[in-house]
Structure 1
Amino acid sequence: MIPIVSRPLRASALAACALLAGCAQLSEDGGFGGVQDISAARLGAAPAWNRTPEETRRSQARVAQLLPDGRLGSADDAVRIALINNPELQAAFAELGVAEADLVQAGRLPNPGFSFARTHSGDDIKIERSLSLGLMRLVTMPTAARIEARRFEQVKLQLAARVLATAAQTRQAWYRAVASQQGLAYQEQVGQAAEAAHELAAKMVERGNTSRLDASREHLFYAETQARLQRVRREASQDQEALARLLGVAPTFRLPERLPELPAQIGPVADVERLAMQQRLDVQAARTELDGLRDSLGLVRATRFVNVLDLGALRTSESGKAPEIGYQVDIEIPLFDWGQARVAKAEAIYLQSANRLAAAALDARSQARLAWRERQDAWQVARSYRDDIVPLRRRMSEENLLRYNGMLISVFELLADAREQAAAVNAAIEAERDFWIADAGLQLALGGPVSAANPQGTRP
């Protein structure tokens, strides 16, 4: 077969195509290093993408290391486990591979097309060969590659934001689970005391030392305590299950007996709105999406009239005749479709993205303000219970015990005071839990740790 073009020209063309095609290659980590860097800078812990059996084994070994003797000692350890073992997060990481594949594909030269036809009439044989290349795709390849590069960066930012959200959810779930276990332990003690008071009241009624009204009151408190105990036990189990799902492990781990101590003080976070706009990854992803759609809109406008343009080389051989060599150009004629619909669609998508960016910025500012106020209020309430309400209840109980020992009040008045103290302790546990949940929520609203934005605040 006689070549369509000369050997030196064909060799040069093939070398150029190979060079250009080699510029776009899949990376070893699939771009995951960028997600890890962002997470490490903002969380102090990096996620893992378990793509191979070896990587999965390493992550499982790390999970076992973070759960010594089945004990999950801190919220930070819970976050580290979730970042390497949460199944939903692992599924989300696959989006990065899809985005990188699209980026690499956009940087690859289009494959040429080859056609061959052979006809004969008697002893006359006619052979036609053609080699074609999508010229329009070749011309628009740099712009398409830039669009996919921005989309790749957008996906990395979105995944990093997903990592931060998972970390915040895990922290909040850990605080809820610990608070539930702490509340359950205390409620069990209250239940034992209520049972003893109920038995005492029943015996006193038998001996005529108290009224049936007082005995019924203790019986009612005992029944309510048992009902609350069942409810608290169910809530503790649910909170443990919710945390286990985020961690991707069985709910057999043990938690600390108490929540962390409240910080002695928390300083004001300066300009939470500005910090949120600087650090929020969802806002950055929306900006990146808008930039990519701007280029996409320009590409649609540039190819409005002609978006199909193929260039090909032809060679025709026929028996007894010299070969015919030439070229062929295929172009779309904008006779019926002038591209208005495609341009209008691209403009609408761009406008939609611009409004989404504005909405994301508005939401970020609002969420930062609300999260900051919620954290401040939760700390004030928790501190009030820690420093004022619970100590006052304890002193009142001590005074009532002295009065009971002096026969100034009855045993039922002493028990009534104990019931009020139990309610105060339960409320204090819930207030501490609400503060730590609000603290994790502020981290998520700011797109980073509170300590980085608030060097004056102290943490346990």
Structure 2
Amino acid sequence: MATPCAPRGRSRSWCPEASVCSLSTCTDTIVRLSMKPAGLLLAASLGGCAHYAALPLPQQAALSPDLGGLVHDRPLPAALTVSDVVRLAVLNNPDLRAARNRTGVAAAQLLQAGILPNPQASLSATPTLAGPGTTTAWNAGFTVDLRSLLMRPSAVRAARASKHQVEADLLWQEWQVAGQARLLMVQLIEEQRGLRLLDGLRQLLGGRLDERRRALAAGDATYATIAPDLAALTDAQTRTRDAMRLLLQQRHRLAALLGLRPDALLVLADCINLPPLDAGAIRTALPALPHRRPDLVALRWGYRAADEQIRSALITQFPNVSFGPTGGSDNTNVRAFGPQLSLELPVFDRGQGRIAAARATRQQLHDEYAARLAAADGDVRARLDETAQLQEQVATARAQLPAVLAAARAADAADVSGLIDPQARIDLQVARFTRQAELIVLQQSLLEQQVAIETLAGTGLPPLTAADDPEPLTQIAERAP
């Protein structure tokens, strides 16, 4: 419980901050110093003292066992859609929770940059021990560092730019988590479809192999005729196991992204509710990429902070001046009062190192921004070209699929009438499964490219140029895909 910040016997009032003056020694010190005029200033400064508070580290992982333990801003459906998973990831991702604390650090640095420098006070007393002196000599002075005052505006602007840089970096990290959640949902839903297809193929091949084994037992077949069916079934079983292992790994990755335990139950929808990709609109919006991608905005804020640091560094090459009044009395009670000026002579240190470091930092950020912008623009354009190729391949596979399905249905009808060789029927069914699996793989690749393009292009994010404080992704998720 906090300790009252008032001396004993006086009106009791609580500190404005929760962690202020909880130590009883702080109050006692203020009481004692307040009894003396010389201690009034120090007592006032101690009136807002802060104290140490322990922050123990967690002793166990903070992973929720189910969806009920997650933070959510709307009722959760029975089966989670892509947009539901994206919102849960942004709200609950453990890495994002830790990253959000950086904004508090940046705000504290901005607060520190705006605080005026403390003035310097000096007081000395020289009692008379011998001689004609009649009183104690004393001297008092009060000075202010003028350089700190001159550097304060640039320091505040640099700290404000750094704060905006941290906020934009956080938004970019949130956007990447959202993109990762969309990508995992696409992979899980599409690969689940592929797994169901593999199960059907495995059952078909297993039934055919059972027939061959019965024929072998009756002496109507040989091992040579069974070998192709056995190899095909073995291949289908291997692919099924690989798909099941990959699905489990991706479910674990999604659980980790949401802050869930690996064994948490996740019921996912079986459809992907992503809007269609508008390649033309993305190409048209590419010139505005520097104003929409948060990482590029963050680099611009960092560049602005580095530019302000150069302005501050340039001031250090001039002499530092401290100015203020000073006065005193000698031991004959002759009193004097006047201005005091102290000048730092820039003989050796003229701020060369600080200026060079500030300029090198600005140049580094300049080149990093140019390289990031070129890479982002080139990556989006390259993926758009790859997407166009994938769209053509998907269209071709879809156009060829009806003929394969019709042949498989005709083979089933002919098999009932005994008009087709059983092996030919199996081959047509395998061809149907193979073509459907190829289409699922192409569709999954197309959707993965779409998610990557929308993440890289910042599709759905508002322009961040005019806004001093970028909005968190949780506030703009309604406008995000």
TM-score with structure 1 setting the length: 0.77
Write the letter of the residue equivalent to 1:370: A
Are residues 1:305 and 2:304 paired? Answer: no
The separation in 1 between residues aligned to 2:190 and 2:462, in whole angstroms, is 23
Q: Distance in 2 between matches of 1:62 and 1:2?
A: 55
Residue pair 1:66, 1:81 contacting (<8 A) in 2 also: no
SS in 1 for 2:266: coil
CA separation of 1:190/1:107 partners in 2, compared to 1, >3 Å: closer, same or farther?
same
Change (3 A) 1:298 1:261: closer
CA distance in 2, matches of 1:262, 1:293: 40
Deviations 1:386-426 (A, max 9, x none): x3233232112123334434545422222222222222222
Say whether 1:374 aligns with 2:386. yes
Q: Against the structure 1 CA distance between its residues 364 and 329, is the aligned structure 2 distance closer, same or farther, given a 3 Å change threshold? A: same
- Confirm whether residue 143 of structure 1 aligns to residue 154 of structure 2: yes
CA-CA distance at 1:299 after TM superposition: 2.4
2:120 counterpart (113, 119, 122)? 113
1:66–1:77 CA contact under 8 A, matched in 2: no
SS of 1:109 mapped into structure 2: coil
Of 84, 91, 114 in structure 2, the residue corresponding to residue 84 of structure 1 is 91
Q: Match of 1:173, SS?
A: helix
Structure 1 residues 192, 166: closer, same or farther in 2, change over 3 A?
same
Q: Cα distance, 1:326 vs. partner? A: 4.1
Tell me, in whole angstroms, the C-alpha distance in 2 between the residues paired with 1:261 and 1:93. Answer: 28
Secondary structure, aligned partner of 1:329 = strand
1:410 matched to 2:431? The reply is no
RMSD: 3.1
Match of 2:72 among 63, 77, 80: 63
In structure 1, what is the equivalent of residue 302 of structure 2? 289
Q: Which of 248, 260, 268 is the matching residue for 1:255?
A: 268
Q: Per the alignment, in what secondary structure is the counterpart of residue 122 of structure 1? A: coil
Distance 2:176 2:324 in 1: 52
Please tell me whether residue 383 in structure 1 is matched to residue 392 in structure 2: no
Say which of 161, 177, 185 aligns to 2:172. 161
Contact kept, 8 Å, 1:130 with 1:314, in 2: the verdict is: yes
In 2 relative to 1, CA 115–451 (structure 1 residues): closer, same or farther, beyond 3 Å? closer
For the residues of structure 2 that align with 1:64 and 1:201, how far apart are their CA atoms?
58
- What is the Cα deviation at residue 327 of structure 1? 4.4
Contact 1:283 1:357 in 2 (8 A): yes
Check 1:203–1:404 CA distance in 2 against 1; reply closer, same or farther (3 A cut).
Answer: same
Q: Which runs of 5+ in 1 are unaligned?
A: 4-9, 15-58, 453-459
- Contact 1:304-1:342 within 8 A present in 2 as well: no
Question: Residues 400, 259 of structure 1: CA spacing in aligned structure 2 closer, same or farther, 3 A cutoff?
Answer: farther
How far 1:249 sits from its partner (Å)?
Answer: 2.3
Answering whether residue 121 of structure 2 is matched by residue 131 of structure 1, we say no
CA–CA distance in structure 1, aligned partners of residues 305 and 273 of structure 2? 45
Q: Secondary structure at the match of 1:271?
A: helix
Secondary structure of 2:220's counterpart equals coil
Inter-CA distance 258–412: structure 2 relative to 1 (3 Å threshold): farther
Task: Give the count of matched residue pairs.
Answer: 395
Partner of 2:19: none
State the one-letter code of the partner of 2:362.
Answer: Y
Query: Which residue identity is paired with 1:283?
Result: L
Alignment partner for residue 187 of structure 1, among 193, 198, 201?
Answer: 198
The amino acid of 2:117's aligned partner reads: P
Shift, 1:362, TM fit: 0.8
Contact 1:79 1:167 in 2 (8 A): yes
Is contact 1:135-1:309 (8 Å) kept?
Answer: yes
Contact 1:134 1:310 in 2 (8 A): yes
- Once the two structures are superposed, the pairs formed by residues 264-413 of structure 1 within 5 Å of their partners are 268-269=280-281, 270-306=283-319, 308-317=320-329, 320-385=332-397, 387-413=398-424
The amino acid that maps onto 1:63 is H
Residue matched to 2:101: 94
- Counterparts in 2 of 1:140 and 1:206: CA distance versus 1, 3 Å: same
CA distance in 1 between counterparts of 2:378 and 2:350 reads 44
Evaluate the alpha carbon distance shift between residue 451 and residue 313 of structure 1 in structure 2; reply closer, same or farther with a 3 A threshold.
closer
Closer, same or farther in 2 for the Cα pair 1:440/1:66, shift >3 Å?
Answer: farther
Cα offset, 1:106, TM superposition: 1.1
- 1:240 deviates by 0.9
1:262 deviation in Å? 8.9
Rounded Cα–Cα distance in structure 2 between residues aligned with 1:335 and 1:381:
73
Cα distance in structure 2, aligned partners of 1:439 and 1:211: 51
CA contact (8 A) 2:212 2:226 kept: yes
